[in-house]
Structure 1
Amino acid sequence: MGDILDTIYSRRSVREYRQEDIPDEIMKDIIKAGTYAPSSMNRQPWRFVIIKNRELIKRLSDIAKKAWLEKVANNNNDPGIASLARMASSPTFNIFYDAPVLVLIFSSPDAYRPEVDCALAAENMMLAARSYGIGSCWIGLGMPIGSDSQVMKELGIPEGHTLMAPVIFGYPGNDEQYTPPRKEDVILKIIK
């Protein structure tokens, strides 16, 4: 159990990456790990788009930032949203942190619980990446690209598929990953 627990306990959301590429075979292994996640009624609804083109990743970042800023324009009372808006307003800020790989996880139209199924696939992928020494981060700010019909057409996404998770991957730029403390009092009750 030590290896899997070490991988789980050491996984971090990485936001600084080296520019070296991840070999395609390793990315295929990471995707395969995602397909081994459980899914509601075993529908296995996940579909993946792997993007390694850095110009496209940057353009998708710009599209997502613009859409996200328009959506939250009137919600500046929340300090967290205001902080994110300041970051996203910077023309040089890339929401995908200049990672060399962006994986967009879509759900097929016949999914029973797509949010859960695709989140489980994403977590499997992030753990598999960690086992290779590769960092990852789920980028919630990237969700607006799933509502952009031009982007969906450009990426060749079939009708009815829904973006569930934009996840970035790359070799961490900082080898010293800080492990924030975890809350210990999380068990409400043990019923025997």
Structure 2
Amino acid sequence: MSESTIKDLQTRRAIRRFQAKAPAAALLDTVLETGTYAPTGQGKQAPVIIAVQDPQLRAQLTRMNAEYATPGTDPYYGAPVIVLVLADSTVSTWVEDGSCVLCTMMQAAHAVGLGSVWIHRERQMFDSEEGKALLKAWGLSGNLRGVGALALGIPEGEAPQPKPRKADYILKL
């Protein structure tokens, strides 16, 4: 057993404050590639990972997501990279597959010293006409639906402390 892997799994936290500068390309590439090794139902690899760094597109996604939360806010916490995960909804395990990709990338980000937090509402965003238009402009299938996104970047400050684990988390029978 790799104790460093266990430590990484136990110490990863949601990061909601990021430095403005983008992470090194090699670190971003490591996180994205690691996401492609996440388990998927029957190995079908239904998810698609889209790393957004373009400021105009990032602003558009921020506006779209905020429409389903609090308009005028940045649901991506100012992170310089937004990593969208969509998946082929004709595959029965599309939500689970996309979720595994997101979790795998969060762990990879932590392992290389980056911070991330899972962001919701990508399903609503990409089920909308504007979202479908983006998929079309990107040359992606209309069967793709949003699973979630990561706000990703270099953490600003220390990671939050973990909450105590609840007493009844594990039941051994």
State the TM-score, normalizing by the size of structure 2.
0.88
* Corresponding position of 2:160: 177
| RMSD (Å) for aligned C-alpha atoms | 1.8
Q: Give 1:103's match in structure 2, choosing from 83, 88, 96.
A: 83
Does the CA-based 8 Å contact 2:13-2:159 persist in structure 1? no
Does the CA-based 8 Å contact 1:37-1:124 persist in structure 2? yes
- State the SS of the aligned residue for 1:26: helix
Q: Which segment is superposed worse, 180-189 or 1-10?
A: 180-189
1:12-50: CA deviation from partner (whole Å, max 9, x where unpaired):
111110011112222221122111111111111111111
* Corresponding position of 1:48: 49
The structure richer in helix per residue is 1
Q: Give 2:118's match in structure 1, choosing from 115, 138, 149.
A: 138
> Structure 2: which 5+ residue stretches go unaligned?
none
2:46 and 2:147 map into 1 onto residues whose CA distance is 11
The residue type paired with residue 57 of structure 1 is R
> Structure 1: which 5+ residue stretches go unaligned?
69-84
The residue type paired with residue 168 of structure 2 is D
1:41 and 1:179 map into 2 onto residues whose CA distance is 34
1:128-154: CA deviation from partner (whole Å, max 9, x where unpaired):
000111010111144422122233334
Residues 16-165 of structure 1 aligned to structure 2 (within 5 Å)? 16-66=17-67, 68=68, 88-89=70-71, 91=72, 93-148=73-128, 149-165=132-148
- State the SS of the aligned residue for 1:41: helix
The residue type paired with residue 171 of structure 2 is L
Shift in Å, 1:157: 2.7
- State the SS of the aligned residue for 2:134: helix
Q: Which segment is superposed worse, 120-129 or 24-33?
A: 24-33
Percent of residue pairs identical: 23
Larger Rg: 1
Does the CA-based 8 Å contact 1:18-1:170 persist in structure 2? yes
The residue type paired with residue 52 of structure 1 is Q
2:47 and 2:121 map into 1 onto residues whose CA distance is 20
1:140-183: CA deviation from partner (whole Å, max 9, x where unpaired):
14442212223333444322111111111111112243222221
